Structure 1
Amino acid sequence: MLGVKRLAVIAGMAIVGLAPAAAAQAAAQPSPQDTQYLQTVHQVNLAEIAGGDIAQQKAQSQQVKDLATQFVTDHTQLDQAVQSTAQQTGVTLPNAPTNDQQAVLNQLQGLSGGAFDNAWVTAELAAKQQAIQATETEINQGSDPAVKQLAQQALPVLQAHYESLQALAQSLGIAVPNATPSPGGTAGTPGTQSPTESPTESPGTGGLTEEPVPSPT
């Protein structure tokens, strides 16, 4: 079923040690990059959980519902590790998604059936791409060992999500953006878009983005 079972295995293996691994690292004062990543990925998780809950209620395709359920599970587990690492490093986390993320959630609430499926998958493709880019930036530029470890363990989960979304998009006949994260962990060039892809948030903000959601037809 679009690799959902395989995705669950990958996610479980990657997430199982997140909190202990993070807790094992002694935290100095986190850098601005580390702080931004923790706050960004937390808001990604909040948006993904909320978006997954909406999809379980409004999606027409059972495939969308199944993938949304898996996303809720994975991002809930990931956010537990994020909150633990933030507490350890003294980083204050936001208590809600970004305004753009909330705008997409509001738009999704107003859709149903096939229009919802199209909008959810399109928004998720953009969201995962941004989350992967933010995570790779932390791996490459972060300085706090605990935060970098968190990013390294989150990356394969996000990549597996993206691959499953690509398969789902193909199944539903939804155009996939050109800027595609590679299996090796390098995201596509920001700003490279297909003719059907709408602009999204700037790289590094992560989470559900406002523009990709089409109007119901």
Structure 2
Amino acid sequence: MRLHRNRRALVTCAIAMLCPLTACAGYAPAPSPAAAGPVPATFETEPAGFETEPAGSPSPDPAEESDIGTRPTKWGPLSEADRDLIRKVRLASLWEMPIAQDAVQRAATARVREVSKEISAQHHTLDRQVRDLATKLEVKLPVKPTEQQQRWMTDISGRSGNAYDTTYVKWLRLAHGQIFGLIGAVRGSTQNTLVRRFSEQANTAVLNHQRLLESTGLTTPASFPTPPA
């Protein structure tokens, strides 16, 4: 009887030891990433109908996009003519300030040197005003004179003596006469209070410069723009 009980206990223990092995017999460990080989890269695709810009294409300039037509500001509508005046006054200062400073040193007559000193000083003030205005109204300003203005500067600086004085007076008086009409047109039409005030400041300065240049006695028919038809 005792032997029979011992034999049953041994069989029970053997079965208990075999159970875990049997449970694990169907288990195969997952391969490690290295053993499984490289994982293919995944890419995000653009949604249907979506077009991307070509590589290297320039981004649109916000200043250029807002430079067409009339746009609102807290000082009133800002028209293309308003912006044109602001830029042209800036262009005038870009070439007239340095050439007037040059004439202070190089002009043959005392009157031209005196006139040039006053014109240069007033353009410094006018340029400060136009840059302040452009900042408030978000108008992009030019940074160098036009090709025509550069030709005028070259023509003046390439001369000496009386020829320097007469050429200097001719081109400056012509340029002031050209912008004078634009100032009046903008003053009469603008609905922007800042531009209206600035056009009056520009009108005062340009009118004074014309009088100063004419006071030299060196103006000729070539010093004046062609009158409107």
TM-score above 0.5, yes or no: yes
1:72 corresponds, among 107, 114, 120, to 120
Aligned mate of 2:87, from 15, 39, 43? 39
User: TM-score under structure 1 normalisation?
Assistant: 0.66
Match of 1:104 in 2: 152
In the alignment, is the contact (CA less than 8 A) between 1:34 and 1:138 conserved in 2?
Answer: yes
Structure of greater relative contact order (alpha carbons < 8 Å, 6+ residues apart): 1
Corresponding residue for residue 19 of structure 1: none
Q: Select the structure of larger CA radius of gyration.
A: 2
Aligned identity (percent) is 23
1:143 aligns with 2:181: no
C-alpha offsets along residues 28-80 of structure 1, whole Å, 9 cap, x if unaligned? Answer: 55211111111111001111102202212321011111111100100110110
Question: 2:227 — aligned with what?
Answer: 189
> In structure 1, what is the equivalent of residue 178 of structure 2?
130
In structure 2, how many angstroms separate the alpha carbons of the residues matched to 1:108 and 1:36? 26
How far residue 153 of structure 1 moved from its aligned partner, in angstroms, is 2.0
- What displacement does 1:132 show? 1.1
Distance (Å, rounded) in 2 between the aligned partners of 1:87 and 1:28: 15
Q: For residues 81 and 26 of structure 1, what CA distance do their matches in structure 2 show? A: 19
User: Which residue number corresponds to residue 113 of structure 1?
Assistant: 161
List gaps (5 residues or longer) in structure 1. Answer: 1-24, 181-187, 192-217
Instruction: Give CA deviations for 1:68-112 in whole Å, capped at 9, x if unaligned.
Output: 110010011011010000000000000011110111111111111
1:1-217 aligned within 5 A? 26-28=74-76, 30-169=78-217, 172=218, 174-176=219-221, 189-190=227-228
SS in 2 for 1:168: coil
CA-based RMSD of the aligned residues comes to 2.2
Change (3 A) 1:177 1:190: farther
Q: Secondary structure at the match of 2:75?
A: coil
Q: In the alignment, is the contact (CA less than 8 A) between 1:108 and 1:119 conserved in 2?
A: yes
Paired residues in the alignment total 157
- Which 10-residue stretch deviates more, 86-95 or 125-134? 125-134
- 8 A contact 1:55–1:68 mirrored in 2: yes
Q: CA 1:39–1:178 in 2, change beyond 3 Å: closer, same or farther?
A: closer
**Residue 53 of structure 1 contacts residue 69 of structure 1 at CA under 8 Å; is this kept in 2?**
yes
What is the distance in 2 between the residues matched to 1:99 and 1:27? 33
Please give the per-residue CA displacement for 1:152-174, whole angstroms capped at 9, x wherever unaligned: 122122112111211212xx4x4
